Structure 1
Amino acid sequence: MQKRCLAILEDGTLNKSVSFSKEEREKLGLRGLLPYSVETQDTQVQRVMDGIRRKGFDIERYILLSSLQERDERLFYKVAIDHIEEIMPLIYTPTVGQASKEFSHIFRSPKGFYITPDDKGDIETILENWPENDIRIIVITDGQRILGLGDLGANGMGIPIGKLALYTACAGIPPHQALPVMLDVGTNNEELLSDPLYLGYPHKRLEGQAYLELVEEFVQAVQKKYPRALIQFEDFLTPNAYGLLNTYRDRILSFNDDIQGTAAVALAGVYASSRITGRSFVDSKVMFLGAGSAATGIADLMVAAFVNEGLSLEEARKRLWFVDSEGLVVASRTDLRSHNLPYAHEAIQSNFIDAIDSVQPHILIGATGAPGTFTQEVIERMSVLNEHPVIFALSNPTSKAECTAEQAYTWSNGKAIFSSGSPFGNVNYNGKVFRPGQGNNAYIFPGLGLGAIIANASIIPDELFLVAAKTLAQLVTDENLQEGALYPRLTEIRRLSIEIAIAVAEKAYKMKIARDEKPSNLKKYIEEYIYHPNY
């Protein structure tokens, strides 16, 4: 009996600490195990927030919240939902970047599922060790390209853990239906390999066919044990990211958030920006700095959006230009990857500034992982060419942003329409307060995932990302735009996610890729499904 009572307090899914009532304490054998006071959950939330605000560093706040998630899951999500603007940067970007770098040093207790090359041939068997039988969402990484930080090996587990916390906080997917997975195939990071505290597979990375076979075995095991599960690929190196996306996008319910989620949230921001500039989306020219998976993913979805507006494929691609570390991406170059070739136009190769002058883009999107690459000269040049230059500095974490919000507004004399991948505070420029909107993927992937799960979709084609982007753009209010923000406030995120989920599910039913019948009242069905963390 005594052990059972203690087990309740030690089980994060059951524990509610000092919020157990007197009657519950009597019934469950908890008398004497808790302080006298019986508190509301709201009071506990306030105590947690007081503790967070007393900490001196964000990594300490991250550790506090991680420990809370382990000991009282409902309180953790109540804190996250009620204070989302303050908590999201702590449980995901930018703090998750530092947490991932230090993962092996701040490790407290295991969360999630680990697969290594030693598990080849046994993945289906060891997956039975996971205690839940109804998994609906899986986030998997191999840790090779964590945010803009590079190869962090098994330390990259912080990313799936954080991403799934947002699925629950932002869209209400029940936490017991979420599974973070680390495909730990080694690391080429010598610093990690020489670190005695490193927790990962202590070898160079598995590559080539052996790597692909391990991924395939995992996918097949998931299809067998969790046939309704959506698999989200996260923070894979560009060649693997595209390779896995192309392998599985038409086979299973899956997507790559770095490519497709980033694309949808960026597209939504571009749609919204047209309400400020007065220029229609179809008439826009876009230049990307960076030509990796995130940038080309945005371009690919924009092509689909342009074609949806009536342009030919060739016309759509000519609206989009790329600059990488070698300069303007043009047809004469011989060093391009396959995903860059559709955007290699006939033009003279030039540097970034000269490319801006020759292309004269309306929108500049940075996805470089290289801080400070949107220099004063770049912003000023865009401001000469455009009454309201649209500037997206999307690289994460904040330390990797192409420019800051203050720089964009100052160098453009307040003309820029700015958005970023990580959060920036309000900027007061010449008496006007700008609230820079964060192009956070959390505006898209939780609602998209919820909609796909509700419809039990078989795949996630581009049409679902397009409808998610359009829905998000429509939810941007005139007040948001007047503040300079291309996205709604994060405090609205649960409502936004439900609206996106409805639109995505409706599209899935219409496209006949839903494996479940459409409920008579879709919104009510979704609202009844979502998780609420109240005691």
Structure 2
Amino acid sequence: MSSHDCVWRTVGVQSHTLHEDVQIRILRILPLLSQYRVLMSDTVQSTCHTSLKTALSGRELLDCPVLNKGNAFDSRERDLFGLHGLLPARIATLEEQADLARARLAALPDNFSRHIALREIQDRNETLFYAIIDQALEAWLPIIYTPAIGRACREFSHIWTRPRGLFLNYTDRGRIAEILSDPQWDGVRVIVASDGGSILGIGDQGANGMGIPIGKLSLYTACGGLDPARALPILLDVGTDNVALLEDPEYIGWRHKRVRGADYDAFIAEFVDAVNARWPNIALHWEDLSGADALRILRRYRDGMCTYNDDIQGTAGVTAGALLAAIRAGAAPLAQQRIVIFGAGGAGCGIADLLAQMMVAEGMTPDEANRRFFMVDINGLVRAGMDGVTEGQHPFVQPADIAATWNVADAAHVTLAEVMKNVRPTMLIGTSGQGGAFTRDIVAPMAQQSVRPVIFALSNPTANIEATPADLLEWTDGRAIIGTGGPFAPVEYDGCLRPVDQINNSYVFPGVGLAVVAGGITRMTDGMFLAAAHALAGLSPAAGVDDQATVPLLPPVSELRTVAMAVARAVIRQGQVEGVAPQATPETLEAALKAAVWTARYRPYEKADSVP
């Protein structure tokens, strides 16, 4: 029986601690497209004494990524589930399997090959996949996500072998609710949805953008402990304007120019309505939508459901947390910051909006806070009266005549270099996707204007970064506090190694997902992302350290699960303050958080009765 034809049976988790006859959870397992998922009515506590009941046996059990153990099925389970003859004689442990897989992965020629191999492992055995990356997460993160994910998306149609997630095509309009109504989706709690319109720094990738929802949800689990059975990646295929994809005979998506305008909005509305009706308390995470659509969609739906845009709000949350940590490490106080943001799209505007709210919380008026931001896009400094000012840019437009007294070549188009010279900023943020945009002439004066200037070059993938950390340190005489969107090794400067903080959204969104699952949050608010930023800053290794130049702003990637727990705790508490999360005692909250965290381990299996 193929994986497409197999029907899942009802299973249960049984306690073998004090009372073996007490069943502590009932689970139902159903097919997820061509793969299998465990869908739970409640998160099962990951204790070493629980066992799982399943009616699957033989090849069906081995074909289930959520349940498959490979040659780790023991003798009792091989007898019980008819696995003799299907597996070799040796019985391995999960640790042995993971060690062997790591050795084989290390022998591959490059990280892209490792990315493909890891995805194949994930489709065969999800527990093994997470056991592999749980050890030395900092080494695996660049392989399962940025920067390797950029190439994986460009080549997704060429490396795609097995369905994972859900493709909702524009041709499916009118039946989206029917598609989502299948009982196999009952246990889903977090959706990551993308239309493939603006993938990282590589643009419109159409259906190839599915690599992003898959990758993001892998990080929800690896960094935040989200049960992979509760995760659903969705690609909203509305076509593509990428001619190379449309002409590629192997392209797996809908071969049509990208749908826009009212037709696009109607399709998104049908999807959102179906999700909201199907899962009233789900977390709907938007990712890599086209810049023109991202903020508009977020603002349209955020008050009616638990939804957020990670490019806008997650980026803002981690940037705000890193800035708060930088202030503790010697940067100018928030009230004295003058911030230039190069790249005035969704991410740049989201950062400005959250930082402005932080300034207001410290006593500024909204107008005073907004005036401290200087947004620069392809048309130069964003000013009043300019054509094409977006909804997100509008609060931060500078006066039309601001450059009247400046030394500029063209007052109608004030360049980044001219803004830097006249504003004399304390902080420079890059979200432009333009590699090399920060030059020595632009950056060097910051070291003369600020004791510890802050420079966050956040564009991904690595080829699109505005400047390398080594250059930024050299140009600022080692004074700059530096953060990047992608991973960089420490830089040797003046005889010591200087850490380079990766200002990555994985410091925020896994904790947000954990908060939704454990805390019953019904809406995501800006206050929650502010709370996440403060929680992240509170974990900064630089706080209270004398030689802060050699200490990172953010905790190491290896501690992302600890970070996720702190962020989730802060987000839930803020949700309780704002009335969008149920009240709970600290003890109850801690118990809920602990119970919601999934860990990669093999539980013993018991035979369940078949279900007709």
What's the TM-score once normalised by structure 2's chain length? Answer: 0.85
Q: Pairwise mapping of residues 130-529 of structure 1 onto structure 2 (< 5 A)?
A: 131-346=184-399, 347-348=402-403, 349=411, 350-478=414-542, 481-514=548-581, 520-529=587-596
Deviation for aligned residue 1:237: 1.1
Residues 419-428 or 120-129, more deviating? 120-129
- Secondary structure of the 1:131 match is helix
- Structure 1 stretches of 4+ moved >6 Å: none
Corresponding residue pairs, total? 535
Q: Report the alpha carbon displacement of residue 214 of structure 1 after superposing the two structures with TM.
A: 1.0
User: Highest CA radius of gyration, 1 or 2?
Assistant: 2
Q: CA contact under 8 A between 2:189 and 2:282: conserved in structure 1?
A: yes
Higher helix share: 1
- What pairs up with 1:6-45 in 2 under 5 angstroms? 6-45=59-98
The gaps in structure 1 that reach 5 residues or longer are none
Separation in structure 1 between the aligned mates of residue 394 and residue 259 of structure 2, nearest angstrom: 28
In 2: Cα distance, 1:523 partner to 1:95 partner = 35
Q: Which runs of 5+ in 2 are unaligned?
A: 2-55, 404-410, 603-612
Shift of 1:331: 2.5
Say which SS state the counterpart of residue 126 (structure 1) adopts. helix
Query: SS of the counterpart of 2:599?
Result: coil
Moved more, 291-300 or 37-46: 37-46
Structure 1 position 278, deviation (Å):
4.8
Give the CA deviation at 1:153.
0.4
1:530 paired residue number: 597
Q: For 1:473-511, what per-residue CA distance to the aligned partner results, in whole angstroms no more than 9, with x for missing partners?
A: 111113694534221101000011011101111111121
TM-score (norm 1): 0.97
Query: Would the aligned equivalents of 1:186 and 1:202 in 2 still touch at CA under 8 Å?
Result: yes
Higher relative contact order (CA 8 A, sep 6+): 2
- 2:104 maps to 51
CA distance in 2, matches of 1:130, 1:89: 35
Contact 1:233 1:257 in 2 (8 A): yes
Q: What is the Cα deviation at residue 518 of structure 1?
A: 5.9
2:115: which partner in 1?
62
Could you say what secondary structure the match of 2:193 adopts?
strand
Shift in Å, 1:533: 1.1
Q: Given that residues 422 and 439 in structure 1 are in contact (C-alpha distance below 8 angstroms), is that contact kept between their aligned partners in structure 2?
A: yes
Superposed displacement of residue 447, structure 1: 0.3
Distance (whole Å) between structure 2 residues aligned to residue 154 and residue 474 of structure 1: 39
Deviation string, structure 1 residues 7-53 (Cα, Å, up to 9, x no partner): 22221111111222222223222233323332221221111111221
| TM-superposition CA deviations, 1:384-417 (whole Å, max 9, x none) | 2222221100001111111111111222222211
Q: Secondary structure at the match of 1:503?
A: helix
Residue aligning to 2:35: none
Return the letter of the residue paired with 1:368.
S
Q: Secondary structure at the residue paired with 1:78?
A: helix
1:519/1:525 contact within 8 Å kept: no
Q: Deviations over 1:424-483 (max 9, x none)?
A: 111112211011010000000110121133222221110000000000011111369453
Q: Separation in 2 of the partners of 1:394 and 1:41?
A: 37
Q: Aligned equivalents of 1:381 and 1:519: distance in 2? A: 49
- Determine the C-alpha separation between the residues in 2 that align with 1:301 and 1:497: 20
Structure holding more strand per residue: 2
1:323 Cα deviation after fit: 1.6
Task: Judge conservation of contact 2:499–2:552 (CA < 8 Å) in 1.
Answer: yes
Give the Å deviation of 1:523: 1.3
Letter matched to residue 39 of structure 1? A
In structure 1, distance between residues paired with 2:316 and 2:164: 29
Which residue of structure 1 aligns with residue 11 of structure 2? none
Q: SS in structure 1 opposite 2:185? A: coil
> Do the aligned partners of 2:519 and 2:589 also contact (CA within 8 Å) in 1?
no
Query: What residue identity is the alignment partner of 2:423?
Result: V
For residue 55 of structure 1, report the CA deviation from its aligned partner. 1.1
Q: Distance in 2 between matches of 1:253 and 1:169?
A: 22
Deviations 1:110-150 (A, max 9, x none): 11111112111101111234723121100100001001111
Q: 1:374 Cα deviation (Å)?
A: 0.9
Find the residue that maps to 2:392 and give its secondary structure: coil
Aligned pair in 2 of structure 1 residues 144, 401: CA closer, same or farther (>3 Å)?
A: same
Q: What is the distance in 2 between the residues matched to 1:467 and 1:149?
A: 31
User: 138, 143, 158: which is aligned to 1:105?
Assistant: 158
TM-align CA RMSD: 1.8
Q: Which amino acid in structure 2 is aligned with residue 415 of structure 1?
A: R
Whether the aligned pair in 2 keeps the contact of 1:436 and 1:484 (CA below 8 Å) is no
Report how far residue 516 of structure 1 moved: 7.2
Residues 200 and 454 of structure 1: CA distance in aligned 2, closer, same or farther (over 3 Å): same
CA distance in 2, matches of 1:517, 1:20: 40
Shifted more, 143-152 versus 209-218: the winner is: 209-218
1:352-382: CA deviations, max 9, x gaps?
Answer: 2221121111110000011000112222122
